[in-house]
Structure 1
Amino acid sequence: MIARANSFMMAAYFEPWTDTLMNTPNSRPVAIVTGASRGIGAAIAERLAKDGFAVAINYASSAGAADALVAKIEADGGRAIAVRANVAQPADVRRLFDETAARLGQPQVLVNNAGIMKTATIADFADALYEETFDINVRGTLNTMREAASKLANGGRVINFSTTALALNLPAYGLYNASKAAVEALTRVFAKELRGRSITVNAVAPGPVATELFLNGKTDEQVRHFASLPPLQRLGEPADIAGVVSFLAGPDGGWVNGQTLRANGGLA
């Protein structure tokens, strides 16, 4: 019964992409997830694979982790490939899309998870930090959206990543917040630029999530403090964010467009 229900769901989801799927090697819808070798990105890749997607796991440097995730997804009956690409480099992004199409089929979903979060006060930030933050968080998102404009299937989904830190105005988060505010602005504009193609463009803005990236360098007291802030009184888990992405990527999210979903347990 469960298998039949899943087959029905995916068959319904395939409908907007019938022409594309005729040329898809493995007859699964295809998703690209950037920065997917670990943390939230890895959880998203696993969730989309369970939802029936073939997943291109993009990574910049963590080849071992990306390959291990591919092996895990395939051991669970899914389909995945690992593709190394620096999203800040246009040529790398073109290759990411082209390799995905060649090996899996035309992508229908783009998840822009790749990003960095390094803090410094406005008085003390280094020029190199500005360039790194905006290269990955903003230029990287722009590069992938530019490719998606011509290479994503009609009826597809673009899911960008912002942050709940935007609403908190914390000291030392100025550069990071500015880069994510740009992502939210780009999300709204791109949703309107894709008029007529039935492609939705949204952003997810997580609150604090218990990943290695977040926990590293924090004391137990600091972690408890962040966990106490949401009314739900816990840190988010990568699976919480993956569930939101799954909704936006799936058929039930088809009427949500040009929005930012703040997945933060009520923090802000």
Structure 2
Amino acid sequence: MHQPVVLITGASRGIGAATALLAGARGYAVCVNYVNNKAAADAVVDAIIIGGGKAIAVAADVAVESDVISLFETVDAKLGPLTALVNNAGILEKQMQLAQMDVARLQRIFTTNIIGSFICAREAVKRMSTNSGGSGGAIVNVSSVAARIGGAGEYVDYAASKGAIDTMTIGLAKEVIDQGIRVNAVRPGVIYTDIHASGGEAGRVVKDSIPMRRGGRADEVAQAILWLLSDQASYSTGTFIDVAGGR
């Protein structure tokens, strides 16, 4: 029995890093993908290895097709057959209303958040599909509760990109289930991570809008992701777990 291998995009910080650490502790060989912050990615890898696990860090921008292809080929060569993908890499930009958004911003958001996830899913399916000699596997897409509530006045573009991920999750799940691949998603709410610094709100947690009256932790999202990847979720595909404190 081969050690299960998981590739987690955007895994140097936040939800991705928490998922990588938990996956390493659960026995996965982990590829920690990052774009720029090599030191942070290496720290995640070191923590997994110190805990007795196996991990590598690989730089790749999911918005660049050649980077993604190289990323997957590195996993093939260094970790072995891929069994799981977590499409976690995503960006948001400064809060503003749609009327102020320029095309360059929209292209950045949609290219990373949508096209990046599509390309990564494509490469994962090619490897895991029983139609092409793979042994099946699981994909978990990291969406957002914003896909349901719209991100008005802040990030309608980000919310829309996650809406696309929700639709892709449903469609791809139906497309590949007979190839031994399950596809699911988690929808985090407001989580204590670095991503909101990108939107100008480093301390963002809007407690008044959250029934549970607190923000979530990255490890709480990671637990849901690992469950969906696991055999415990063997009858779940095309489904969503909201980790959003009741929003």
* TM-score (norm. length: structure 2): 0.92
Secondary structure, aligned partner of 2:216: coil
Shift of 1:229: 2.6
For residue 70 of structure 1, what is the amino acid of its counterpart? V
1:154 is aligned to 2:135: yes
SS across alignment from 2:235: coil
* Among candidates 176, 180, 186, match of residue 198 of structure 1: 180
- Contact 1:208-1:214 at 8 Å conserved across structures: no
**CA drift at 1:260:** 2.0
Q: Counterpart amino acid of 1:210?
A: Y
Q: Deviations over 1:133-153 (max 9, x none)?
A: 011000100110111121124
Quick check: 2:191–2:217 contact (8 Å CA) kept in 1? Answer: yes
Structure 2 residue 218 is matched with structure 1 residue 242: no
> Match of 2:92, SS?
coil
- Identical amino acids, percent of aligned pairs: 37
Q: What is the alpha-carbon distance in structure 2 between the residues aligned to residue 105 and residue 227 of structure 1?
A: 43
Shift of 1:198: 2.0
Code of the aligned partner of 2:85: L
Shift, 1:154, TM fit: 2.9
SS at match of 1:262: strand
Which of 48, 51, 54 is the aligned partner of 2:29?
54
**Where does 1:40-189 land on structure 2 (aligned, <5 Å)?**
40-118=15-93, 119-152=95-128, 153-169=134-150, 170-189=152-171
Q: State the aligned residue count.
A: 239
Distance between the aligned counterparts of 2:34 and 2:50, measured in 1?
A: 20
Match of 1:218 in 2: 201
* Paired position in structure 2 for 1:5: none
1: CA distance, partners of 2:179 / 2:149: 35
Q: Secondary structure, in 3 states, of the residue corresponding to 1:256?
A: coil
State the superposition RMSD in angstroms: 1.6
Gaps of 5+ in 2: 129-133
**2:184, 2:240 within 8 Å by CA — same for their partners in 1?**
yes
Q: Distance in 1 between matches of 2:202 and 2:226?
A: 32
Larger radius of gyration: 1
Report the secondary structure of 2:188's partner residue: coil
With over 3 angstroms needed to count, the CA separation of the structure-2 counterparts of 1:261 and 1:219, relative to structure 1, is closer
TM-score by length of 1: 0.85
